Structure 1
């Protein structure tokens, strides 16, 4: 059944890849580990349920890794079944991927405004292979889980772990909180880590090719080209 689900999710032309948005400074650690790690796996203390009001640099196997800040989310958006701390702790145990260029571009634009002096990159990976290889750890979301709605009182859903649908339950659960069809999937989470990313990597989108790890440099393309591709309708 999982193979059928993965095939259905990756069948649309604009959903052949999964995108991971990151900081250029984190690339050496990713290439060395050949993996994307959750915040919790990298540093349990820094990835507790406490809110990180700003980005934090930690060490993992002698490599510096910057963990992103948590946006401040209004209490009214959090479901009564959980707390802010519990929700953040849940997010910290996952790696986040974007299933379309449109979704990825929203993240790119948000961080470009928030941190204009920071350098970012996007890893584009084979969606079918990644989902198939991590199927037991994959969860699907209808919403950007870490976002802070501009108008909290008007938000049509509540944030909690229940908003994440295990891959093998896709199309088996029907409610407004989880995606019921492929076009409603706007975020993909993988619990703990994504392994074997060099094998999965199709393109690394980065402003300066020489800033890409040597082992990935032959797959480097300009980040500006990714924005042009999105405009051309690859979403």
Structure 2
């Protein structure tokens, strides 16, 4: 077993961290299946240079319509001195986000469901070990919710910059306060530019109905209510 494989085994050892979850709009499922990939927002919107998106944006990507989410506000008070909000936003826009526990994913899902009650959302569940191994060179791990801001930024004990992310090779060796040092501290899993081999790594697709599901993913279907029913269950 290589060092990276051992690190991945340690990260996914807990029963609540065997899966990784990606939250998306149900309308994006056909495109994800078609390309067998999840692209970063910067890949889909290459003209984006870190400006804040105030609303969701529909993109025609190779004949398929994909929807990119808006940005949450990040105040300057949350930034490290050597990093602007625009630089940080440009960095995170180069990545695809996954959540290492059901609880973390459900927090995102339920927030969007309240914010956009007429929209249909979906969650893709992957084998975490296989996902990390497949993308080991482009994985970054975060201790915090990187794309949003705490309610009281001035009293927060960390500041945002690319330094708040740690690679698999550095995990457990970098121990500064800004990065996760043990599996239970991992809040987000980021993959740079593209997450590929989606169909092979996929365990379940949670959606309101079969309407948006690609035909080849029908055996992976789970009602979204099954996932929502675990919202009060501790998962790490």
**Shorter-chain TM-score range:** over 0.9
Alignment-derived partner of residue 192 in structure 2: 191
Question: How much does 1:230 deviate?
Answer: 4.2
- TM-score relative to the length of structure 1: 0.97
Instruction: Report if the CA contact (8 A) 1:48-1:92 is conserved.
Output: no
Alignment-derived partner of residue 15 in structure 1: 17
Question: How much does 1:57 deviate?
Answer: 0.7
SS in structure 2 opposite 1:179? coil
Alignment-derived partner of residue 174 in structure 1: 175
- TM-score relative to the length of structure 2: 0.96
Instruction: Report if the CA contact (8 A) 1:210-1:217 is conserved.
Output: no
Runs of 4+ that moved beyond 2 A: 229-235
Alignment-derived partner of residue 40 in structure 1: 42
**Is 1:24 aligned to residue 21 of structure 2?**
no
Instruction: Report if the CA contact (8 A) 2:40-2:96 is conserved.
Output: yes
Q: Deviations over 1:40-90 (max 9, x none)?
A: 112201x32111011111111101111110111111011111001100100
Once residues 108 and 210 of structure 2 are traced to their aligned partners in structure 1, the CA distance between those partners, rounded to angstroms, is 21
Task: List gaps (5 residues or longer) in structure 1.
Answer: none
Once residues 7 and 15 of structure 1 are traced to their aligned partners in structure 2, the CA distance between those partners, rounded to angstroms, is 10
Alignment-derived partner of residue 56 in structure 1: 57
Q: 1:5 aligns with which of 4, 7, 19?
A: 7
Once residues 20 and 182 of structure 1 are traced to their aligned partners in structure 2, the CA distance between those partners, rounded to angstroms, is 18
Question: How much does 1:147 deviate?
Answer: 1.3
RMSD over aligned CA atoms reads 1.0
Alignment-derived partner of residue 214 in structure 2: 213
Residues paired across the two proteins, number: 234
Once residues 233 and 146 of structure 1 are traced to their aligned partners in structure 2, the CA distance between those partners, rounded to angstroms, is 23
Instruction: Report if the CA contact (8 A) 1:82-1:160 is conserved.
Output: yes
Alignment-derived partner of residue 163 in structure 2: 162
Give the structure with the larger helix fraction. 1
Alignment-derived partner of residue 84 in structure 1: 85
SS in structure 1 opposite 2:105? helix
SS in structure 2 opposite 1:218? helix
Instruction: Report if the CA contact (8 A) 1:58-1:67 is conserved.
Output: yes
Instruction: Report if the CA contact (8 A) 1:206-1:220 is conserved.
Output: yes
Q: How does 1:104-183 map to 2 (within 5 A)?
A: 104-183=105-184
Once residues 171 and 85 of structure 2 are traced to their aligned partners in structure 1, the CA distance between those partners, rounded to angstroms, is 26
Task: List gaps (5 residues or longer) in structure 2.
Answer: none
**Is 1:75 aligned to residue 110 of structure 2?**
no
